[in-house]
Amino acid sequence: MTQAQRPEPCDFLIEAGFVVPVEPLGVVLQDHAVAVTDGEIVAVMPIAEARRRFAATETVQRPDAALIPGLVNAHTHNPMTLLRGIADDLPLMVWLREHIWPAEAAVMGPESVADGVGLAIAEMLRGGTTCCNENYFFPDVQAVVYRRHGFRAVIGLPIIDFPTAWAQTADEYFERAVEVHDQWRGDALIGTAFAPHAPYTVGDANFERIRVLADQLDIPVHLHTHETAQEVADSVQLHGQRPLARLDRLGLVNDRLIAVHMTQLAEAEIELCAERGVSVVHCPESNLKLASGFCPAGALQRAGVNLAIGTDGCASNNDLDMFGETRTAALLAKAVAGDATVLNAAVALRAATLGGARAIGLGARIGSIELGKRADLACVDLSMIETQPLHHVLSQLVYAVGRHQVTDVWIDGRRRMAARELVDIDLAQVAANARQWRARIAVGGG
């Protein structure tokens, strides 16, 4: 063999029965391999060809699995894993004002945030999620925990018009937000976004400050909006405008906006989102559980709006299962549209991966299996009884797969789960940390 013919070194090859790149849409590559070097995808090709071309330090063989981009949870409140199940079967504002906010006020702090995020990371990894868009207090603590576990996250910089354990005044919210952003600027795994809570908890002056700073810092704006009919009615009464119109007046309806929930939308508002490049995060299970309404995902899809999927927090879902959420999103979209063809399996999977990546500003780095992108990947075992017989890979991934079928996960080229075993995470300790909060939250009034 000549020098020119010698195999190229690579860190690892993943040989899979099926590679689902997501981009191009609907493609499934049978018996393909993905080569990774320095955390970057350097080749996607048939297994036999990859074996000739590369001398891999490690080869992972999964002949019965689909290799997919890691799932992107585009809206979550992961410290709220500790509040899982404390206030079920209630409408949104009763749930928030009478249960969630009092419980948070009693126990929220760096320790609870760290333990809640640690619990969430373990749950997400076991379900094939490799990136999340976070929205909670103590973002400084969140960032440290995500980074320690090698998990990719965009950390929300909270802004809300009343005092919390994180900040007391508007100036303090903004000062602390900029400090956290500056601390993590340029990090390989941790990004930031402004996270004003909602139009009904943030005034015009703070929204205007957010718009200016988001432009200066080049980061997204992540907020709940048009979540309920009551929110829209209250906005009209208080401001003389629907929430989206008010946000537009304040200069926030643009390609930085990550609009979460969006269950109450007129046709003109859908067109405005498409025209301005707004991303919409669909959280169907939380919306269903709180009876908040139905996001018109099919209409958004037809209009060309970038659609992402999020679980919301565990206090209103009650899990971080992105496979389950994606299935619910696809099924609900059909019922709402009265059209069985909308949000088909390929489109739904794209929303759960590349759509989320694009929403949080990482579409050029993650969300699909393409040359030059970072290796955020998950293997899903399709040989299990729940996904037999295997007629259509995409159909099984969206409509039949359970998160227990995820076998392996990589983030930025680093193995985070191997053969169903988490890497460098002590599950017994994670569970013990979670259990000790149960009594403290109950005492605190949860």
Residue-wise pLDDT for 143-159, tens only, equals: 999 999 999 999 999 99
In this model, does residue 394 exceed pLDDT 60? Answer: yes
Write down the mean pLDDT value for the chain.
96
Q: Identify whether the C-beta of residue 378 lies closer than 8 Å to the C-beta of residue 328.
A: no
Integer-rounded Cα Rg, in Å, for the chain is 22
Residue-wise pLDDT for 369-383, tens only, equals: 999 999 999 999 999
Structural domains present in the chain: 3-69+377-411 (2.30.40.10), 71-359 (3.20.20.140)
Write the single-letter amino acid at 445. Answer: G
Helices then strands, each counted (H, E), the chain: 17, 16
- Give the tokens for residue 267: 């046709």
Q: Strand order of the sheet with strand 421-422? A: 40-46, 29-37, 8-19, 54-69, 377-381, 406-411, 414-418, 421-422
In this model, does residue 445 exceed pLDDT 60? Answer: no
Q: Identify whether the C-beta of residue 366 lies closer than 8 Å to the C-beta of residue 388.
A: no
Would you give the distance in Å from CA 284 to the centre of its chain?
A: 13
Q: Identify whether the C-beta of residue 244 lies closer than 8 Å to the C-beta of residue 226.
A: yes
In this model, does residue 10 exceed pLDDT 90? Answer: yes
Q: Identify whether the C-beta of residue 33 lies closer than 8 Å to the C-beta of residue 47.
A: yes
Q: What is the pTM of this model?
A: 0.97
Give strand ranges (E) for 149-302: 152-159, 190-196, 221-225, 257-261, 279-282
Residue-wise pLDDT for 54-64, tens only, equals: 999 999 999 99
| String of DSSP letters for 19-56 | E--SSSTT--EEEEEEEEETTEEEEEEEHHHHHHHEEE
Q: Identify whether the C-beta of residue 46 lies closer than 8 Å to the C-beta of residue 93.
A: no
Q: Can you state the angle between helices 204-217 and 170-184, rounded to 10 degrees?
A: 20
> Which of 422, 384, 423, 378 has the alpha carbon at shortest distance from 400?
384
